[in-house]
Structure 1
Amino acid sequence: MRFVVDLKVCQDHGQCAYAARAFSLTEDGRLAFRQQNANVYESADVSDAERDDVEEAADACPVQAIEIRD
């Protein structure tokens, strides 16, 4: 499983970072993936152990910027 973050939609609310270790914020409160790409971030494979947390992060996103891909 992988996840994709649409960084054009993301508003850096940070709810994903509270829900799953796969997400983190920079010191200035922005989603850390912005450092790697300005438009879309696609993760590497996520372990089955982290799947529930990543799904919770996607559900918690107020702007629904996170998509789960199997």
Structure 2
Amino acid sequence: MRLVVDLNRCQGYAQCAFLAPEVFAMHGEEALLYHPQADEAHREKLAQAAAACPVQAILVDAVDAPAEAVSDER
């Protein structure tokens, strides 16, 4: 999964770090650190963290696996 945080919008409320500490961490009082390529196992926690963000700065996007090559045999 791809994770994007608008750091210009983030106000450091740390709800995401509380709800998904495997992915988000606060560095100091206002700087947010996060893993942009989150593991699929954290999907539910990431959805909760995105919903809990007071300024809606978190976007969670599923990244599809590459499609298998399709042969066009005739």
TM-score of the superposition, structure 1-length normalised? 0.76
Of the structure 1 ranges 11-20 and 47-56, higher mean CA displacement relative to structure 2 is found in 47-56
Counting matched residue pairs gives: 61
Q: CA deviation at 1:43?
A: 0.3
- Stretches of structure 1 that go unaligned for 5 or more consecutive residues are 34-40
Which structure dedicates a bigger proportion of its chain to strand? 2
CA–CA separation in structure 2 for the residues paired with 1:15 and 1:66: 11
Kept after mapping to 2: 8 A contact 1:4/1:67: yes
- Stretches of structure 2 that go unaligned for 5 or more consecutive residues are 63-74
What is the aligned-residue RMSD (CA, Å)?
Answer: 1.7
Q: Determine if the alignment matches structure 1 residue 43 to structure 2 residue 36.
A: yes
Which structure dedicates a bigger proportion of its chain to helix? 1
CA–CA separation in structure 1 for the residues paired with 2:3 and 2:13: 17
Which secondary structure state, in structure 2, belongs to the residue aligned with residue 54 of structure 1?
Answer: helix
